[in-house]
Amino acid sequence: TEIGDDFIRGTMPVDHRTHQPYGLLHGDASVALAETLGSVGAALTVDHEKFMCVGLEIN
């Protein structure tokens, strides 16, 4: 994982735990990674005295 002033980046292995039967990355694994990085990024940048981060929308 890498965090900068205006970005967060993470990696995930593509192996028997994360690919679908055809050997490609499973879509739900991509969504889980995106949601995790979004949550961490929000939690690290918001002023917790004034705001709270909630919600998930992936299209």
Give the mean pLDDT per block of 10 residues along the chain (59 residues). Answer: 90 92 91 89 90 77
* Cα 13 from chain centre: 14
Q: State the residue for tokens 């679908």.
A: 20
What is the reported pLDDT for 22?
A: 92
What is the reported pLDDT for 54?
A: 81
What is the reported pLDDT for 59?
A: 66
Domain-located, residue 11: yes
Range of the domain at 38: 2-45
Q: What are phi and psi of 9, to 5 degrees?
A: -135, 140
| Global pTM value | 0.74
Q: Is 48 helix (H, G, I), strand (E, B) or coil?
A: coil
Q: How many domains is the chain built from? A: 1
Angle at 28 between CA 59 and CA 37, to 5 degrees: 75
Catalytic positions:
35
Closest CA to 8 of 40, 35, 46: 40
Domain-located, residue 15: yes
